[in-house]
Copies of this chain bind each other. A is one copy, B any other.
Amino acid sequence: MKIPCLTLAALTLALPLPADEGMWLFNQPPGDLLRERYQFDVTDAWLEHLQKSSVRFNSGGSGSFVSEDGLLISNHHVGADAIQKLSTQEKNLLRDGFHARKPEQELKCLDLELNVLQEIEDVTARINAAVPKDADPAAAFAARRKIIAEIEKESQDRTGMRSDVVTLWQGGAYHLYRFKRYTDVRLVFAPEQQAAFFGGDVDNFEFPRFDLDVAFFRAYENGQPAKVKHFLRFSPKGAQDGELVFVSGHPGRTSRLLTVAELEHQRDQALPLRLNTLNRLEVLLGNWAARSEENSRRAHDDFLGVQNARKALNGKLAGLLDPELFSAKVTAESEFKATLAGKPEFADALAAYDRIAEATRILATQAIRSGLLEGGQAFRSDSFGIARTLLRAGEELPKPNGERLREFTDSGKESLELNLFSEKPIYTDLEILVLADALTFTAGQLGSDDPLVKQILAGKSPRERAVELIQGTKVRDAAFRRQLYQGGASAVAAAKDPMIELARLVDAESRALRKVAEAQGEIRQQAHAAISRARNALLGTTGYPDATFTLRLAFGTVKGYEEDGQSVPPLTTMAGLYERAKEMNYKPPFDLPQSWVKRKSRLELKTPYNFVSTVDIIGGNSGSPVVNRAGEFVGIIFDGTLSSLSWDYAFSDKQGRATSVHSAAILEALAKVYPARELLRELRVGRLNR
């Protein structure tokens, strides 16, 4: 994997961004760039339409409205969490698919929240003014937390909209995002997982691909399909080779502006540690799933999530271990530092690099303990997560809004309660399995003789203790949760629930670790802000900040690439699906669903199926609409090539590509494989048939 062009290097030299790089803010779109390079004029109307058609799935992905009656499309794998929660041993919707022919048949998701961005407001000055200069890091953090909570609450009270302050440029700027929030979301259509994720882990992050990775949901308001003004029209023709396309979605997180010290920490400590955990979980869940059909069903979505994360992280790590990528980072940083050196006005920005390195070092010393306790890895289970939320809600909610832990502020309350009171199924056997494993891992990481480990295990083996905790706790009963949440700290204490008491046992140390992380995070944030100010002063304010799971605009062209001396064309066809299945002897994960076997002869096999483009994306962009110049829906992002995994650190379009399902394939499959005529009609006319 070679990364010829790098963000930082480019920024340092103040050259235009190479290739089609960039995850642009909707309030700072790359207008000049698109005009110069593609002769395309980004109008405000075009932007607003795309913005308000775009939907964030709070479970971790993107989507878009595709009819005025609140119909929306995302990836199957983005919706999988919601679909899994609607599945039972008798009705395995994740495996077998689902199709509601009328709104009355649509299934309400248990805890899915969607957000649609309405407004952005720059609040940088107000926040910076509220944080006293020369305050110590803890005080600065507290002041910043307070003003952010204030701004969010004020905005929510005034507009009724979900209001989040988003930290951009690692602290260089703060924007207030206002979202329309939907919490009544219903499942309309899902193909069989085997159609959506044909090729499984083997073909994940590879290309050519043949996946119908889509699912349809509908947003409701007051029990009725939501009426939306902005939605995308499906293009039957879809994306064409060489065409300029745009992606509007929610990239989760990139690390392109991290310093070398931070990247080294990622490379040598953070990523290896996370991979260790992911490998362990993949083996644990995979082998447990193999024991029975029902185990497999229960663990399936978690298992695929772990596999996906493991493959993605291996790709990221490979990127950081690529000397070309890393040395470009080192060079760019030292060149920029050389630019700063000798300029007294940038002395603070120059010194900021050392402050970041020191904060990173301090955080590294407590990383394992912090991940286990505050990160909750020591107690991995839904039961523990709920127990700790109840414990902390009892303690946090009585405090003034601005002094609470971030997840308990007023502006987040609706989302918090949606999750806490979700009636999602939680399986005792799976809970015991993962908790016993987590406790075993904790004993190994901290040593069995660690005093806290001894208290956690309470004289039992990890397995015995896990059984005792999971069987003893009542937090899996939603009524019990409501009662404790409403009863506050005294009700929580009176319940003497063993899992809540475990959360209490570790909470003092856990909060102390978090306090250190917050203070060091504040130091890093201020340091990054200083660097960011220097960068803007020297190079201008062009460019885009690292991804923050908020709406971004990206663009690129539908384009193949070279690999091992072979040219890989940008589009696959439906015929390719059947060829790939045959080539792999139809063995899982290359078996075809019966619907696709039976209806092969009806299909126009030349229909484009999946395609790649040079659009700059990252995890979280899954489900993002791909639109053409006319703003029509021509495809939907669902993956990236292996080379795109290092885009976390630096973009390159040499072999890195974003992978999408083609709009024509979606229409063809809905028309002929499933037949889903009502859905197809709604996509064509843009509204429900009533």
Contacts and interface: CB of A to CB of B under 8 A. Distances in A.
Interface string A319-359: 00111000000000000000000000000000000000000
Interface string A458-470: 0111110000000
Q: Which of A275, A283, A459 has most B Cβ within 10 Å?
A: A283
A318 B268 contact: no
A443 interface: yes
A462 B321 CA distance: 7
A595 interface: no
Interface string A269-295: 101100110011011001100111100
Contacts of A275: 280, 444
A341 B268 CA distance: 48
B461 A1 contact: yes
A267 interface: yes
A399 to B, nearest CB: 39
A23 interface: no
A202 B443 contact: no
Contacts of A290: 200-202, 589
Interface in A604-633: none
Contacts of A584: 292
A468 B623 CA distance: 39
Interface in A447-465: 447-449, 457, 459-463
B321 A271 contact: no
A464 B402 CA distance: 51
A594 B369 CA distance: 53
A63 to B, nearest CB: 29
Interface in A419-462: 440-441, 443-445, 447-449, 457, 459-462
Nearest to A200: B290
Contacts of A443: 267-268, 321
A264 interface: yes
Contacts of A293: 585
A310 interface: yes
Nearest to A326: B448
Contacts of A286: 286
Contacts of A391: none
B461 A317 contact: no
Nearest to A310: B283
B321 A264 contact: no
Given A283-B282, A317-B440, A268 B323 contact: no
B440 A267 contact: no
Contact of A323 (B272, B276, B459): B459
Contact of A444 (B268, B283, B291, B457): B268
Contacts of A201: 287, 290
Contacts of A269: 444
Nearest to A461: B322
A437 to B, nearest CB: 9
Nearest to A267: B448
A292 B443 CA distance: 38
Contact of A447 (B200, B202, B268, B449): B268
Nearest to A311: B287
B445 A272 contact: yes
A413 to B, nearest CB: 39
A207 to B, nearest CB: 15
A609 to B, nearest CB: 21
A264 B449 contact: yes
Interface in A200-214: 200-202
Contacts of A279: 276, 279-280, 282-283
B440 A321 contact: yes
A304 to B, nearest CB: 13
B272 A444 contact: yes
Contact of A461 (B200, B268, B323): B323
A163 B640 CA distance: 59
A271 B448 CA distance: 13
Interface in A293-320: 293, 310, 317-318
A1 B280 CA distance: 22
The 6 closest A-B pairs by CB, nearest first: A272-B444, A279-B279, A268-B447, A322-B461, A279-B283, A279-B280
18 contacts: A1-B463, A202-B291, A267-B444, A268-B447, A268-B448, A268-B449, A271-B444, A272-B444, A276-B276, A279-B280, A283-B283, A290-B589, A318-B461, A318-B462, A318-B463, A321-B461, A322-B461, A323-B459
Given A272-B441, A272-B444, 12 more contacts: A201-B290, A202-B287, A264-B448, A269-B444, A271-B444, A279-B279, A279-B280, A317-B444, A321-B440, A321-B448, A322-B461, A323-B457
